Amino acid sequence: MRIEKLWVIVRPSPTSEFGDICFETDAKGLALQFKGGLDPEDIHALYTSRNEAEREAERLLAASKKYHAVIREVDR
């Protein structure tokens, strides 16, 4: 199977929004992301299906927001 496009999901930061953590690219675009500073360790997952990628990104972002909300409460 030839993969022309893929969806990248990166680990969210406390201020991340959906568009920050989920994006479509190709091999050349991914190489440019690495040259621009994307650390391979920050990649949560790669998908060939947009729907699967978006579902996982939404799940990951919701979990991150919940986690950071708890951390803020503990720090008070």
DSSP string across 6-49 = EEEEE---TT--HHHHEEEE-HHHHHHHHHTT--GGGEEEEES-
Structure-token pair, residue 14: 């406390």
What's the mean pLDDT in 35-53?
97
Sheet holding 43-47, edge to edge: 22-25, 6-10, 43-47
Computed over every residue of the chain, the mean pLDDT equals 95
Residue 49, pLDDT above cutoff 80 = yes
d(CA 58, CA 51): 11
Residue 1's pLDDT band (cuts 50, 70, 90): confident
What's the mean pLDDT in 33-55?
97
**Residue in the block written with tokens 């997952």:** 45
50-69 pLDDT, tens per residue?
999 999 999 999 999 999 99
